[in-house]
């Protein structure tokens, strides 16, 4: 029983990390919520919560509703874009993964 309690979280983290590295994100943030640990949670334009497993965005980083999130499949970085005065999206943040498993375990470049 104790072994199962130790192994399950590790296997779960491995699977979620792998799935996220292979996933593409490309959406406009429709809502932002703040967790008790001050991390941001994002919602896409359909109102669905987008859970980030390998990337951490904190409340002090200035990401807000209307910003754009982008990450290509097997991309190392998650990008946040903000609109400038002309209504064009420009890169605002480039976020490195903070996950337990390295990107190189799942994606070859």
Helix/strand/coil (H, E, C) string of 29-85?
Answer: CCEEEECCCCEEEEECCCCCEECCCCCCCEHHHCCCCCCEEEECCCCCCEEEEEECC
Would you say residue 109 lies in a domain? Answer: no
Would you say residue 107 lies in a domain? Answer: no
Would you say residue 81 lies in a domain? Answer: yes
Quote the pTM value. 0.84
DSSP 96-109: ----SS-GGGT---
What pLDDT, on a 0 to 100 scale, did the predictor assign at position 82? Answer: 97
Query: H/E element holding 93?
Result: strand 89-95
| Domain, as residue range, for 25 | 2-102
* pLDDT tens per residue, range 26-79: 999 999 999 999 999 999 999 999 989 889 999 999 999 999 999 999 988 999
Could you give the CA distance from residue 13 to residue 35 in angstroms, rounded to a whole number? 19
Instruction: Tell me the pLDDT of the chain averaged across its residues.
Output: 88
Mean pLDDT confidence for 78-100: 92
Would you say residue 89 lies in a domain? Answer: yes
- Number of structural domains, the chain? 1
Residue 10 has pLDDT above 80, yes or no: no
Q: Which two three-digit tokens encode residue 56?
A: 């951490």
Phi and psi torsions of 9, nearest 5° = -60, -35
């Amino acid at each position: 029983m104790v072994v199962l309690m130790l192994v399950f979280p590790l296997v779960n983290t491995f699977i979620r990390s792998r799935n996220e590295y292979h996933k593409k994100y490309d959406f406009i943030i429709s809502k932002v919520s703040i967790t008790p640990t001050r991390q941001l949670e994002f919602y896409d334009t359909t109102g669905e919560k987008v859970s980030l497993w390998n990337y951490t965005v904190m409340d002090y980083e200035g990401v807000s509703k209307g910003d754009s999130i982008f990450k290509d499949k097997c991309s190392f970085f998650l990008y946040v874009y903000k609109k400038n005065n002309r209504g064009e999206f420009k890169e605002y943040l480039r976020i490195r993964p903070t996950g337990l498993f390295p990107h190189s375990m799942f994606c070859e470049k």
